[in-house]
Amino acid sequence: MMRTFGIIIIGSVFVGIGINLFFVPHHFLDGGMIGIGLIAHYWFGFKPGLTIILLSVPLYMLAFYVDRKLFYNSIHGLWLSSLMIDFFHQWKNILTLPPLMSAFLGGTCVGIGIGLMLKGNSATGGSDLLAQLIGKSFQMNVGKLIFAFDSIVLVVGWPIIGTESFLYSLFAVSTVGFFTTILTHHNHDNGFSFRKY
């Protein structure tokens, strides 16, 4: 139990660092609920982690009644990753790297972070949870649902961040998916679909 919790904490730290050191300075987006949190931050100045928690609450309430096991496995990952995203926000101006390097390093950190959290049977936000609930209820492919949700988030955020940041975000999200897949390709049967962007 302690080892699993430690893995989730380390994964959350990677996510928080990747988002704030590399994504936020260039207004890059991620997919899913993290991407929605970033859109709210860029557009309204809201704290992304807090936004993720608030928007995820209804989905976790639904999961509590529909799939109690999925709820318990996911809830700690949501809180920890959101906490770390807001905690490391103070680091956003520590260094500013070129956009391409930031997209790669940020995607690497977030991908490793999400991969570690999935290895600890946890998740980072409500969109993945929603995809799993829909997939189980309607016998739909969870990976395709997650990809659809992520695509919608990126397209909605495009006018807010501009075309250049959008294109770098596509590269960053692809990098996230690559490293998440590497870390979870032996982990398909843990009850979670890995984030495949």
pLDDT per position as a tens digit, 163-184: 999 999 999 999 998 998 888 7
Spatial CA neighbour of 193 closest among 23, 73, 82: 73
So where are the chain's domains?
2-90+99-184
User: Average pLDDT for residues 35-44, to the nearest whole number?
Assistant: 96
Q: Give me the torsion for CA of 28, 34, 37, 43, rounded to 10°.
A: 20
Spatial CA neighbour of 93 closest among 29, 28, 25: 25
Cα separation of the two ends of the chain? 29
Q: What is the mean pLDDT of the chain?
A: 87
Q: How far apart are CA 45 and CA 56, in angstroms?
A: 19
- pLDDT at residue 194 greater than cutoff 50: no
pLDDT at position 184 is 76
Indicate the burial class of 15 (C-beta count within 10 angstroms; 0-12, 13-18, 19 or more): buried
pLDDT per position as a tens digit, 87-104: 999 998 898 899 999 999
Residues 21 and 106 sit within 8 Å (Cβ to Cβ): yes
pTM beyond 0.85, yes or no: yes
Sign of the four-CA dihedral 158, 84, 56, 148? positive
